[in-house]
Amino acid sequence: MAFPVRAITLDLDDTLWPFAPIGARVERVLHDWLTTHCPRTAQRFPIEAMRELRERIYFERPDLAHDFSLLRKLSLVRAMELAGDDPLHADAAFEAFYDERNRVEFYDDSLDALARLAARVPLAAISNGNADLARVGIGTHFVFQLGAREHGTPKPAASIFHAACERFPLAPADVLHVGDDIEMDVLGAQRAGLRSCWINRTGAHWPHADVRPDLEFTTLAGLADWLDAAQSPETAAA
């Protein structure tokens, strides 16, 4: 299926790199930092207890569901206050967490595919997470990054997709959104009027009979191959 693509928006976690290893690693790194700098907090809130506290903060503050960074900081402040450590350490603790959060291990195809896509059309990142493209080391491939924190509303809300389209500026129908999540990425983009591409690395079954993504690939390289073919001189002349 061929159609014009003038720009691409990309999800990050579990599209360019797997998030699960990061999620496990950051908790250990944060706990080690607390053990050194806030030992009472580390003793009262080992990894599982800190996770439970963070989930409680998330439940208390649904108005901050779009801002994982602030929720993490609030959790650290609460933990330090309860343990009797100085909550002014929260910013430094968050920085230790955030530095590790941006140490990613890309899927094998991601970096080459990103370069190929960026050579064809402008790329932008749309993410509900809090990864930082510059820290991750791929900022040069993107014309901008739009996070749920900055926008104020997470995917699958249409407004975040529309805000990205306006920044290009392009009509939604001219933009292809690429991601791994069926609801957040594929259905969210389609409801907002964008084209959609599902990166289905796990070979999952598509669950909806009445709607499908415009494109589906098992790797980002598959999308790069498709875009190369779609924008080749032979295709354009056909």
The pLDDT tens digits of the residues spanning 32-62 come to 999 999 999 999 999 999 999 999 998 999 9
What pLDDT does 68 receive? Answer: 84
Asked whether the beta carbons of 71 and 96 are under 8 A apart, the reply is: no
In this prediction, residue 237 has a pLDDT band, given cuts at 50, 70 and 90, of very low
pLDDT of 234 > 70? The answer is no
Task: Give the residue with greater pLDDT, 64 vs 116.
Answer: 116
Q: What is the mean pLDDT of the chain?
A: 93
What pLDDT does 88 receive? Answer: 96
What pLDDT does 1 receive? Answer: 67
pLDDT of 174 > 80? The answer is yes
Per residue in 152-179, is it b (16+ CB within 10 Å) or e — as a string? eebbbbbebbebbbeebeeebebbbbbb
Ordered domains of the chain (ranges, CATH): 7-17+106-237 (3.40.50.1000), 20-101 (1.20.120.1600)
What pLDDT does 160 receive? Answer: 96
Interval 108-117 mean pLDDT: 97
11 is catalytic: yes
From the candidates 11, 85, 109, 181, give the one annotated as an active-site residue: 11
pLDDT of 233 > 80? The answer is no
What pLDDT does 232 receive? Answer: 67
